[in-house]
Amino acid sequence: MTKPQGVVVLGATGSIGINTLDVLSRYPERYQVIALTGHQQWQRLLQQAIQFRPAYVVVGDAVAAAQLREHLALAALNCEVLYGSQALEWVVSLPEVDVVMAAIVGAAGLPSALAAARAGKRILLANKESLVVAGHLFMQTVHAHGAVLLPVDSEHNAIFQSLPANYAGNPDLAGIRKIILTASGGPFRTLSVDALQTVTAEDACRHPNWVMGRKISVDSASLMNKGLEVIEAHWLFAAKPEQIEVVVHPQSVIHSMVQYRDGSVLAQLGSPDMRTPIACALAWPERIEAGVESLDFYQLSALTFEAPDRQRFPCLDLAFEVLHSGGDAPAVLNAANEVAVAAFLQGDLRFVDIPVVITETLSRLDLSASSSLDGLLAKDAEARALARQRLAIC
């Protein structure tokens, strides 16, 4: 009998983590959960640990760890509770770990994802910020240590599925004209400029098609999520900015496309369910059951496409601009966006001022490239401090 693959789920309590565990639960003979990690939601992590019985559980701090240890003892569950960022890096590097689902939200997920790359693991990347903040460093580490990087974002996974099986990171050699990222347009796609002035966090989190966390829901509403995906696509597929296009497709049935030089366009279609790309990356190159209903083409409404409105949603152009600029500009964009989105979710910033905070932060920093992860993280911290100063006058 084949030994089960050891899996670590980073960010197990978030939407990607929950969907990953749903897929894993269907194959107990094929996958063994070695570690689950969450930040503060120790109650949810407790229930997951009871179901999957990992050897390790990692939380954000000592307080959450103490609470979790107490309740795990009551459940008579023998699993070690750790906390902090170093624990995250340790569990992904364990020799019994084969697969790491990197689903921690934001730049906080970068160090552990990098640690998985250094350890040569198969990385299922749902944390797009790892490539936005440190694309060159991350890809260099993946290649240097023989790690396998598979995209889990529905758009990038769709592109991955639409590329030649032997794709070697050269669009021109593969006859590719364009990589086309589809966007739903989010909950504000048809709102006027005036209406956008007064939208709330709850409005932004009512995504028409996808069930997502609050931060990514706001990014989807502002089209920043699509901008971050443009930067991610550049690093994943070695595509130039001019080879990447964004098309609004409100139905979210076509998840992305690849346009070839001969006029062909290959697209990946499916229901808007994250278990599909998770299962695809988890079992690649095989296909496994994910619990997702197949599309019923007789029930599909018309599929429509439109250009993104770059005036109402300037975050998309900001992402293209920093991709052209290079250096630390993408890291600064991401840091400022995380600060601005957090403020919006707390009711301290208007939705329309998110790009204002980002633009002003970018204008006030040296954007030349850092030579190390420590340098990048220092630039990230500096950008966050400047963004918070800007919040005070918004």
Does the domain at residues 5-151 carry the CATH identifier 3.40.50.720? Answer: yes
List beta partners, residue 183. 248
List beta partners, residue 260. 176
State the pLDDT confidence band at 388, using cuts at 50, 70 and 90.
very high
Contact by Cβ (8 Å): 45, 26? no
Distance CA 182, CA 157 (A): 12
Residues 315-362: tens digit of each pLDDT: 999 999 999 999 999 999 999 999 999 999 999 999 999 999 999 999
Domain ranges of the chain: 5-151, 154-271+295-312, 326-394
Contact by Cβ (8 Å): 210, 225? no
What is the reported pLDDT for 394? 60
| Enclosing H/E stretch for 268 | strand 265-269
What is the reported pLDDT for 210? 65
Mean pLDDT within 367-378: 91
Helix (H, G, I), strand (E, B) or coil at 351: helix
Beta 265-269 vs 254-260: how paired, if at all? antiparallel
Give the tokens for residue 71: 């309740």
Chain-centroid distance of CA 381 in Å reads 20
Percent of the chain at pLDDT exceeding 70: 98
Give the CA radius of gyration of the chain.
20
Distance CA 363, CA 36 (A): 40
Give the tokens for residue 96: 């019994």
Look at residue 207 and tell me whether its pLDDT is greater than 90.
no
Residues 153-174: tens digit of each pLDDT: 999 999 999 999 999 999 999 9
Residues 122-151: tens digit of each pLDDT: 999 998 889 999 999 999 999 999 999 999
Residues 253-270: tens digit of each pLDDT: 999 999 999 999 999 999
Mean pLDDT within 212-239: 93
How open is the CA angle 68-72-77, to the nearest 5 degrees? 145
Residues 228-243: tens digit of each pLDDT: 999 999 999 999 999 9
Read off the pTM: 0.92
Residue count of the chain, please give it.
Answer: 394
Angle, nearest 10°, between helix axes 315-325 and 329-345?
Answer: 160
What is the reported pLDDT for 77? 87
Residues 58-100: tens digit of each pLDDT: 999 999 999 999 999 888 888 999 999 999 999 999 999 999 9
Distance CA 283, CA 306 (A): 34
Look at residue 205 and tell me whether its pLDDT is greater than 70.
yes
Look at residue 209 and tell me whether its pLDDT is greater than 80.
no
Beta 56-59 vs 31-37: how paired, if at all? parallel
Percent of the chain at pLDDT exceeding 90: 88
Contact by Cβ (8 Å): 101, 92? no
Residue owning tokens 């089209």: 223
Sequence-separated contacts (24+) of 316-321 with Cβ below 8 Å = 316/223, 316/224, 316/226, 316/227, 316/230, 316/246, 317/227, 318/224, 318/227, 318/355, 318/358, 318/359, 318/362, 319/224, 319/226, 319/227, 319/228, 319/230, 319/231, 320/227, 320/230, 320/241
CATH architecture of the domain 326-394 equals Orthogonal Bundle (1.10)
Contact by Cβ (8 Å): 126, 109? no
What is the reported pLDDT for 393? 66
